[in-house]
Amino acid sequence: MKQNKFILHFFILVIFFVSITAISAADLNDTGDFDILTDIDDKSYNDLYSEITTANSNFTFESDYKFNKDLDKNYSGGINITKNNFVINGNNHIIDCANEARAFYITGNNVEINNLIIENAFCGYGSAIRADSNLTLNNVTFINCMGDNETYSGGAIYSYNVTLNVNNCNFIDNGGENGASITSVMGAVNVVNSTFASSSDNIIKGHIFLSNSLLTVDNSNFLNTTSKYAAAIFSRDDASIIAKNSKFKNLYAYKTAGAIGSRVISNLTIFGCEFDNVSSENNGGAIFLDVFAGDSVFGSWTTITNTLFNNCYSGFGGVILQLDGNLIINNTNFTSNSAKYEGGAIYTSHADVEIYNSKFISNTLDDEISYGGACYFDDGEVLLKGNDFIDNIASEGFSVYAYDVSDLSLIENYFNNPSDGISICTVYGKNIRDQGNNYTSDVKSFKNTNDFYNFEGGANSFVIINNTISYDELPESFDLRDYGWITPVKDQGFMGACWAFGNMAALESALLRYTNQTYSLSENNMQNTMLKYSKYGD
């Protein structure tokens, strides 16, 4: 009898606990407007699409998702988000695109994505996200997202004619031809408190690529990245860039523009930033601006304030190389930067320059024949006021070298550079205003001319060979290769000098035909005779 009572009491107790569990589960799943996924294992894209489709204005999930090529082939272009004012709460879970797909294709307006990790994305026009409508990202991390090298292919995000807001996001080890992390065409991008870093060798034009777009970067970091051009930000076809309170560190471009590069830009504003160990091989260790690039943008302004440039390097312009436009620098320090040839810190050509209350300390040039240890100015108007030039080195113009500058104003500057050479040198030019400067022992040399010519090597005589070709009838085709009268083909890259390469190749071919000797003539020197920004051209 006692045993039966025990069994009865135990049975009642089990029913009681089951009831409590059911009530608790019901309470936990009562989330108002949010739809929650509760599976622990990874789900497929097909699952994600179905559950987002049935969601209301908000969607939260608790599972990771992974692209399955057998189940999800219809979603390789990403889950299409068509709803307006839709919020996705990732809950710090992962979408793994398996190196075969995009995560999202955004067409609904004002979509917001929070607390999500997207990794291993691979697709053209934004491997992780393509946004054709306004999009806001909060605390989203993009890892190993790669573009497929299509035109405008973006490594992680591609946005077209929209506003993209990026807050507290991380972009890690992404790659792509036009923007490893963000590509914006005819739009606006706002980046706040975000970090960009990549070990990828598949970056061509920086983390952020702009075409006819506006960019604001605030309190963000660009770190440890190598690119062909502009490891941080690259723009073309007219852009406007504002960078505030941000850091650019350990960036390298194996062509031009270590951090920021632009071809055609309306405005560049840099405030309270730090550039440290940023370099490129050719032009502009930190910043390269071809302001007009043959286009019709007028009134372009570059403004740099309260910024530090340390340990930057390039062939020309160790920190900044700017062609055309206006450059204004205020309260900025240039320390221990270097270039190989000209402009240890700054190189400008055909630009109007104003520099106030800034310091140029220990900037140097490497080459034995080099000009402008701190600053090199070619053409334009230049005003230097209240600056310090200390311990800068070059073969000529330790602190300032001005070539054909129409108006040079030196007002209340302090110069303390080696006294065993010329510290301030001007060549040609017109008007010089020298007022209230402290030169200490610096040597200045104004209004020089540069009419010397240099010829190295001897003139070798050669015998003209009669290689006349006669035809009774004109042939259907004629190819110099059939006669061995061509010289090695050279690659002009993007230098825009096909006319120089064509003419020099024709001349080399003629010399080969009539002298039986192969000559390699300099297309660069030929181009320089026509180039606006060369001292030998324009």
Distances (CA, A) of 245 to 136, 196, 287, 404: 21, 15, 16, 36
Task: Identify how many contiguous H helices and E strands the chain contains and give both numbers.
Answer: 4, 45
Q: Is the pLDDT of residue 20 over 70?
A: no
Show Cβ contacts of residue 246 under 8 Å, excluding neighbours closer than 6 positions: 217, 218, 219, 220, 221, 222, 273, 274
Of the listed ranges 43-52, 222-231, 520-529, the least confidently predicted one is: 520-529
Residue 2 tokens read as: 């006692």
Closest CA to 276 of 205, 223, 220, 316: 223
pLDDT exceeds 80 at position 24: no
Question: Mean per-residue pLDDT for 107-124?
Answer: 96
Residue 302 binned pLDDT confidence (cut-offs 50, 70, 90) = very high
User: What dihedral angle (degrees, nearest 10) is formed by the CA atoms of 117, 120, 122, 128?
Assistant: 10
CA distance 149 to 144: 15
Judged against a pLDDT cut of 80, whether residue 451 lies above it is answered with no
Which one is predicted more confidently, 65 or 491?
65
pLDDT digits (tens, 9 = 90+) for 256-294: 999 999 999 999 999 999 999 999 999 999 999 999 865
Over the stretch 334-362, which tens digit does the pLDDT of each residue have? 999 999 999 999 999 999 999 999 999 99
Q: What DSSP letter does each residue of 215-241 carry, written as one string?
A: EEEES-EEEEEEEEE-SSEEEESS-EE
Per-residue pLDDT for 29 more than 50? Answer: no
pLDDT, residue 402, reads: 98
- Mean of all residue pLDDT scores within the chain: 88
Burial 240-260 (b: 16+ CB within 10 A, else e): bbbbbebebbbbbbebbbbbb
380-407 pLDDT per residue, tens? 999 999 999 999 999 999 999 999 999 9
Q: For residue 312, what pLDDT is reported? A: 99
Predicted local distance difference test score (pLDDT) of residue 319:
99
Q: How confident is the model at residue 37 (pLDDT cuts 50, 70, 90)?
A: very low
Q: Which residues neighbour 344 within 8 Å (Cβ) at sequence distance 6 or greater?
A: 318, 337, 338, 363, 364, 365, 372, 373, 374, 392, 393, 394
Per-residue H/E/C for 62-99: CCCEECCCCCCHHHCCCEEECCCCCEEEEEEEEEECCC
State pLDDT tens for residues 198-234. 999 989 999 999 999 999 999 999 999 999 999 999 9
